[in-house]
Chain A
């Protein structure tokens, strides 16, 4: 069982490296990170935080947009595309459970995403430290950002598999993936913002809104990272985010983990009903 999972993961990793997925996503992350670090950090002026911490704060926002996109692009094709092209039939005929196939693909894709994030953000962080100074301060923040970005990628990989297993055509799966990205990353926030404007002092803003934020994996990721940065420095510009929440920031992390487990389970369930 473990052997089969690792074999599938290994194959996915190999494919990710050979079709330049790893390289391309790392380069995209690095390019955006460098723009944010060197152009976006200019107006911070005399903030007491280290340059690296400030960069990490802007990278967290970058992650919210880019990492789900990269993860969904990797996963939308995983099942629908392979059924479409006929490459999945042999695996389905072999004595491996469908859950093992999903977990194997997840592991392989997760390694692809992890390499891309670690490479992109790692190189950007190293450049910031070398060029802007500030020493090793903020390294913990960068490490936390990389680790949680990988978690964010994992959640959207799993969500992408649910989409991929529920439709028969790659094209439909792609459209679904784009829809999911738009809804989770853009529309959800817009909706919350609208509701907040309509009722800025009521019970919604105080007790419902934070929980709704934590319920979306992308927002949960942002919440946790900003709150963690906030406890040490004033890098985010949001005053006392940690105190304003009705729950500890770790809930954001828990939400992310919950999404990974739930979506993977849902993907396995939907996949089990697929008739190739």
Chain B
């Protein structure tokens, strides 16, 4: 079935937040697409332990992730797709993964990162990626926790 939730969060799986989102959207599997995480066995183990008990977690790099997400999208599985940055979301979208909405829930501050909304910051490159996603018809919404109101990216994009 179509992806239940497509989310960008640089903390990836952090217990409570992910548990609430899973319940809110009715997803039963977490798929992480992130090259850095896929290459780090320790990080994969830590994130798998961090997921709510009983929720399978799969971690892939971009290429394998594309194949797996495409396969799952045409299966009965309801998937919560999680990435660390909007750049990955854009790559997947360009490579043919369909999603109408991108939830941006966690992008920390740091050098070269512009504050956007609450604790969400983005680099110029990430800003450009979110703009491109919107041009491709994917709504980009800033929303940290499930019971927040979503804020459209366009409304905070002061270019």
Q: Do A and B bind each other?
A: no
Contacts from B to A (Cβ < 8 Å): none
